[in-house]
Amino acid sequence: MSRKRIAILISGRGSNLPALFRADLGGDIVVIGSNKAEAKGLELARDAGVATFVLNHKSFPSREAFDQAMVDALNQYRPDLVVLSGFMRILTPVFVDAFAGRLINIHPSLLPSYPGLDTHRKAIIDGVKLAGCTVHFVNGELDGGPIIAQAAVHVDDDETPETLQPKVLAQENQIFPYAVKLFCEDRLRIEGKRVRTLPARISS
C-alpha cells in the first residue's frame, strides 16, 4: 500500500496543524492551501517545509468558480485525501463531488448538534453538560456527512466560550490525527450515514 498524499486547507490559525505535523499519520502532507493570504497557519506550514498556496475567494465571480479553481490547484498535488482544518468556506457540489469519499472536516461540536458557527456559545446557552468535536466525511450539507471520530469534554457550571474553546481544541488535536491515520491506513468504510472502522492490519 503506497503512502497517501494529504492536502490540507485552512483559513486561519491552523490550530490543528502542529498536532498533524507531529503525528505519525501513515501519509505525507504534500500541500497546505488557504483562501486567506494572512492565515497564520501558512507560516506554520512554511516553517515545517510544506508547500503552500493561496487562492483568494474574493477574486472569483461565484462560489462555484472559486471551488473549481481550488479543485484545480489541489489536483496539481494529486491528493488522496483533502483535510479541512478550519477552512471557513461553504462548499458547493463542484468541490464536494470532486473529492467525494476523500474529503474530511473537523468541527468544534458533537455533530449533528451545533453545525455552523459559534458552537461553544450555543452549547453553553442550551445548558448541555457535554460538548466536544467531530471529524467527519464531508457531504453537501453544512458540517454534514458520516462521522469518523468524536471526543467529548465536560461543560463546567461556570464555563464560557473562552474556556470551552481550548478544552475542545485539545481534544481536536487528539482525534484529528487519529482520523487521518485511519484514512491513510484504508481502515474507514462508509456505510450509509455510518463509518465502520476496520481493525489494524498486523504487519509481519
The smaller minimum CB distance to ligand GAR, of residues 35 and 183, is found at: 35
The smaller minimum CB distance to ligand GAR, of residues 44 and 81, is found at: 44
Least spacing, CB of residue 5 vs ligand GAR, in Å: 21
Least spacing, CB of residue 201 vs ligand GAR, in Å: 30
Q: Which residues contact 142 (CB under 8 A, 6 or more apart)?
A: 90, 115, 116
**From the candidates 107, 120, 136, 154, which is the catalytic residue?**
107
d(CA 150, CA 172): 9
Q: For ligand GAR, which residue has the nearest CB?
A: 86
The smaller minimum CB distance to ligand GAR, of residues 33 and 108, is found at: 108
The smaller minimum CB distance to ligand GAR, of residues 131 and 189, is found at: 131
Q: Where are the alpha helices (DSSP H) in the chain?
A: 17-22, 40-47, 63-75, 93-98, 119-126, 161-184
Binding residues (CB under 6 A) for ligand GAR: these are 10, 12-15, 41, 86, 106-108, 133, 143, 169, 172
Whether 154 is a known active-site residue: answer no
* Residues linked to residue 84 through DSSP beta bridges, in sequence order: 9, 105
Least spacing, CB of residue 13 vs ligand GAR, in Å: 4
Least spacing, CB of residue 16 vs ligand GAR, in Å: 6
Q: Which residues contact 120 (CB under 8 A, 6 or more apart)?
A: 108, 131, 161, 164, 165, 168
Least spacing, CB of residue 108 vs ligand GAR, in Å: 4
Q: What is the DSSP letter of 155?
A: -
d(CA 191, CA 180): 18
Residue 120 DSSP SS3 = helix
The smaller minimum CB distance to ligand GAR, of residues 125 and 142, is found at: 142
Cell reading at 19 = 498536532
Q: Which amino acid is at 178?
A: Y
Owner of C-alpha cell 484504508: 186
Q: Which residues contact 68 (CB under 8 A, 6 or more apart)?
A: 94, 95
Q: Which residues are the active-site residues? A: 107
